[in-house]
Amino acid sequence: MYLSNFLYCVSIIYMKEELLHFIWLSKILLKHELVLVNKKRVEILNIGVLNHDAGPDFFNAKIKIDQEILVGNIEIHIKASDWISHKHTNDKKYDNVILHVVYENDNPIFDSNNLPILTLELKPYLDPKLLNKYKILEQQQSVIPCEPIFSLPNEFKLNNWLHRLVFERLEKKCDRIEVLLKANNNNWEQTFYVLTAQYFGQKTNEQAFEWLAKNLPLQVIAKHKDKLSQIEALVLGIAGFFDKELKNDYLKFLQKEYFHLQKKYDLVSIEKEIWKFGKMRPSNFPTIRLMQFAALLYQSSHLFSKVLAIENIKDLQELYQLKHIHLIHLSELSNHDFDAIKTDLGKSAINTIIINTVVPIVFLYGKLRFDETKCDKAVNWLEQLKPENNNIVTFWESLNIKAQNAAQTQALLQLKNEYCANKKCLNCEIGFHVLNNN
């Protein structure tokens, strides 16, 4: 008796309405012959449609009581008395509730006309294993809540789930880009320019690169697209690195060029102090990234238009191979000692640009212009790229989910960041399988 009371208390503590929604949606109850609290048999013919707004939890459900068919709404609570505490009794929106589904029937419930509401108590029908698994998910502090009881659905379901996650991640990236697009008065070239700049800054210097792009108009770059040295002068000058007397001859030349162009176009430099060098490899120093950015601007004017015209993934990768490499001693600009470094981008860096910058904006372009070919092209590029290599992808591999391409690694990032981190296990195909797998 004491043990059963203890298990009951534990189940109530960890019980949430979202679990009851999950049980209703997953049709687990259809395996049972169900009896209402008034002892009448009930058959669920249609679970209805989940309501995400105010009002009953499910609309347009269909049930059968003895020989009578009822069509209406379903309301779900942990305890029957929640109907009262949630103030549904006198709320006309709940008058069409044909069934009150509760974990525990602790109180008789009536509608606004003082008529008893048909009630189904779930406690006798729920498998203790399911409740125990849910408790594990709720208590778990690991990166993946279901890790201690992890199991995979079949390959078909898993691939479908990953495919859906790819689009979810793309949509999330598109939301951010759309905000940027509106800020740029729907100018796609300018938006892509700023977005590309943000990538070169990575997380550490993303904001600084964004300010750089906003302070260095594309129109100014276009007027000097034939001279690499002037593009380099503009980029390094706007970045604030020409604020002192320099010794290197080429840097002195760039500094002189910048001061001339700054006066001509009334340009404003940003503060050099905003650039962060700490805990970085020299190849990721902002000065190196700035030179890479300058090389890309020099060789690829109207970059977004060129991207849109490309079909083949190899041609897209070729576009980002920096052909005009300038060896330059940059340590004088930042007081960080390192030798001359080439400004070219490796294959991995190019693929990362495509994944995080090119694919989302091309997908958004197709979406907003109702051009499915552009959306399909963006997704196809992802599917043709090799899987990304990071800690999250490696972790999923340890659980026997091995990504076949960059689309699937993007899906796995979405799974971890949006579902696992927020414990949305009941909305996850893997979580659904774990809870139902005995």
Pairing state between β 41-46 and 34-35:
antiparallel
Tokens of 312: 């083949």
Residues 282, 205: Cα–Cα separation, whole Å: 14
What are the pLDDT digits (tens) for 359-369? 999 999 999 99
Of the pLDDT bands very low, low, confident and very high (cuts 50, 70, 90), residue 3 is: very low
The predicted model gives 49-70 an average pLDDT of 91
Which one, of 405, 401, 370, lies nearest residue 386 by Cα? 405
**Phi and psi angles of residue 148, each rounded to the nearest 5 degrees, phi first:** -65, -25
* Stretch 370-377: mean pLDDT: 96
Rounded to 5 degrees, φ, ψ at 93 are: -60, -20
Fill in the DSSP letter of residue 358.
I
Q: Are 64 and 78 in contact (CB under 8 A)?
A: no
Domain boundary assignment for the chain = 2-126, 142-183+355-438, 189-345
Secondary structure of residue 345 in the 3-state scheme:
coil
Structure tokens at 163: 């495919």
Q: Show the tokens assigned to 379.
A: 């997704």
Instruction: Give the per-residue pLDDT at 2.
Output: 34
Looking at residue 115, the DSSP 8-state letter turns out to be P
How does pLDDT run across 107-116, given as a tens digit for each residue?
899 888 888 8
| 60 against 301, higher pLDDT | 60
CB 396 within 8 A of CB 408: no
pLDDT interval class at 334 (50, 70, 90):
low
- HEC per residue, 20-36: HHHHHHCCHHHHCCEEC
CA distance 71 to 110: 18
Cα 197 from Cα 203, distance rounded (Å): 12
Cβ atoms 109, 116 nearer than 8 A? yes
Query: Can you read off the two tokens belonging to residue 371?
Result: 């051009």
